[in-house]
Amino acid sequence: MNPKFQQTMANQTPFLFDIPTVSQLTGKIKELLEQNFLDILVEGEASNVKQSANGHIYFTLKDSGAQLPCVIWRSTVQRSGIKLTDGQQIVVGGDIQVYAPHGRYQMIVTLVQQAGIGKLQQAFEQLKAKLKAEGLFDDIHKKPLPKFPQAIGVVTSKTTAAFQDIRSTLEKRWPLAEIKLYHASVQGVNAAPEIVNGINYFSNHKNVDLVITGRGGGSLEDLWAFNEEAVARAVFNCEVPIISGVGHEVDFSIADFTADARAATPTQAAVLATPDINEVRMYVEDLYRRLELNTSGALQYYKEKVENIARSHALLAVQQKIGTARNTVRHLNQQLINQSVLSRSKYKDVLLDLTHRLDKQNPNEPLEKGFVRVWQEGSWIRKAGSFSKEEAAELQWADDQIMINNRK
């Protein structure tokens, strides 16, 4: 306290001041804030996102200069299906509330949206520079893609044309591979957390040889889920080789830079992931022809060499040895013939068996014979027990397909 003020107070008659208590002061602050900050919008980066056991979501909205505690009540989460992850650039709407027992204020969030294009572009450049500086884009971290994948995981939305393009391309190019879809939203505030969950699922279970993630083209806001830091790091940390195929040729996402391979489109991702079965067949046939030619050529070469050696002994003193050598040559020649026949027969059987197995694995062969394939929820229904009478079904022929709605 100022000394002059203390001296003045000492020379005056004592009187009572109306000093508020902590509760009274906090009550006035609460009244002031809660009456003047209703239904407001604020933009920032989500961090420290946590969901409590009772379903509420707590997080901090921050920028370079300040932080704002936020909460989304369980009823709002259930009604709107909001999902958040650290690092998302968002706009939230709601009311400011003061929690008196802790002397703190927070925002009760009722709306979550992606941030505007300007902020998104700025966030894109900042995150790109940050992850590049950490070395997440370096080629040394890129895992090689398998040449002949037996199972391929796809993380995208089952309702999009992108998934249909990926599936049809994979079935045409490499029908030997099993396709496993993990459905995830590819647009909106829920997309990033769902994509992260899908990538982590395949990474943790290791039940596929390769993962494809991506979506079709769109605006920066549409593609933004693949520019979220959480998605980029999930792609980088995936223990299974992963291909990112987002948008069109001109579109680049942060996930493209951290993936093991980048494809310009979802369809190109499917092409990059698999060999062409027709090219494999031609390669096998070429190997068979080369094997047959090399075996016959080697036999003729050694036969002529042995005959030349036998004819070179012209001296009378070695006539007897020539006879012995000729017998040996005949025996060796017969062994070479027998071995050649066995080898050609063995490799021919192996190659023919592989060719038959490749032909039998064509999933569209039954369709060409007039059979019908049933799809539900993006999956091929192989057994009657897997068919749901309550869900819509897709019937596929070799030349067309129709959708049947089973809901009444």
Whether residues 394 and 343 fall in one domain: no
SS (H, E, C) 134-161: HCCCCHHHCCCCCCCCCEEEEEECCCCH
Q: What percent of the chain has pLDDT over 70?
A: 85
Whether residues 237 and 188 fall in one domain: yes
Whether residues 168 and 103 fall in one domain: no
The pLDDT tens digits of the residues spanning 110-123 come to 999 888 777 788 88
Residue 373 has pLDDT above 90, yes or no: no
- Number of domains the chain is built from: 4
Please give the average per-residue pLDDT across 139-162, as a whole number: 96
If you average pLDDT over every residue of the chain, what do you get?
A: 85
CA–CA separation, 118 and 224 (whole Å): 12
The pLDDT tens digits of the residues spanning 181-208 come to 999 999 988 999 999 999 999 999 999 9
CA–CA separation, 277 and 300 (whole Å): 35
CA–CA separation, 209 and 301 (whole Å): 45
Tell me the one-letter amino acid at 5: F
Whether residues 69 and 187 fall in one domain: no
Residue 315 has a pLDDT of: 46
Q: What is the CATH number of the domain that holds 40?
A: 2.40.50.140
Whether residues 338 and 387 fall in one domain: no
Residue 128 in any domain: the answer is no
CA–CA separation, 365 and 363 (whole Å): 6
Whether residues 266 and 169 fall in one domain: yes
Residue 306 in any domain: the answer is yes
Please give the average per-residue pLDDT across 335-364, as a whole number: 70
pTM of the model: 0.59
The pLDDT tens digits of the residues spanning 68-109 come to 999 999 999 999 888 898 988 889 999 999 999 988 999 999
Domain that holds residue 154: 143-273
Single out the residue in 244, 273, 302 at which a domain terminates.
273
Q: What is the CATH number of the domain that holds 221?
A: 3.40.50.2300
Low-confidence winner among 132-136, 270-274, 277-281 (lowest mean pLDDT): 277-281
Whether residues 346 and 387 fall in one domain: no
The pLDDT tens digits of the residues spanning 297-349 come to 777 777 777 666 666 655 455 666 666 777 777 877 777 777 776 667 766 77
Q: What's the chain's length in residues?
A: 408
SS (H, E, C) the chain: CCHHHHHHHHCCCCCCCCCCCHHHHHHHHHHHHHHHCCCEEEEEEEEEEEECCCCCEEEEEECCCCEEEEEECHHHHHHHCCCCCCCCEEEEEEEEEEEHHHCEEEEEEEEEEECCHHHHHHHHHHHHHHHHHHCCCCHHHCCCCCCCCCEEEEEECCCCHHHHHHHHHHHHHCCCCEEEEEECCCCCCCHHHHHHHHHHHHHHHCCCCEEEEEECCCCCCCCHHHHCHHHHHHHHHCCCCEEEEECCCCCCCHHHHHCCEEECCHHHHHHHHCCCHHHHHHHHHHHHHHHHHHHHHHHHHHHHHHHHHHHCCCCHHHHHHHHHHHHHHHHHHHHHHHHHHHHHHHHHHHHHHHHHHHHHCCCCHHHHCCCCEEEECCEECCCHHHCCCCCCEEEECCCCEEEECCCC
Whether residues 191 and 154 fall in one domain: yes
Nearest CA to 236 out of 393, 127, 366 is that of 127
Whether residues 243 and 267 fall in one domain: yes
* Between residues 30 and 114, the one the model is more confident about: 30
Could you give the angle at the alpha carbon of 24 between the alpha carbons of 22 and 26, nearest 5°?
Answer: 65
CA distances in angstroms from 268 to 243, 278, 379, listed in the order given: 10, 18, 22
Residue 16 has pLDDT above 60, yes or no: no
Residue 9 in any domain: the answer is no
Structure tokens belonging to residue 344: 């050609």
The pLDDT tens digits of the residues spanning 155-180 come to 999 999 999 999 999 999 999 999 99
Whether residues 243 and 229 fall in one domain: yes
Residue 133 in any domain: the answer is no
Residue 233 in any domain: the answer is yes
Residue 272 has a pLDDT of: 96
Residue 121 in any domain: the answer is no
Q: What percent of the chain has pLDDT over 90?
A: 50
Which residues make Cβ contacts (< 8 Å) with residue 187, sequence separation at least 6? 215, 218, 222, 225
Structure tokens belonging to residue 198: 């899908």
Residue 138 in any domain: the answer is no
Whether residues 150 and 259 fall in one domain: yes
Whether residues 155 and 214 fall in one domain: yes
Residue 330 in any domain: the answer is yes
Please give the average per-residue pLDDT across 141-157, as a whole number: 96
Q: Is 140 in contact with 134 (CB distance < 8 Å)?
A: no
The pLDDT tens digits of the residues spanning 394-405 come to 887 878 888 877
Residue 240 has pLDDT above 90, yes or no: yes
Please give the average per-residue pLDDT across 346-366, as a whole number: 69
Q: Using 50, 70 and 90 to split pLDDT, how confident is the model at 392? A: confident
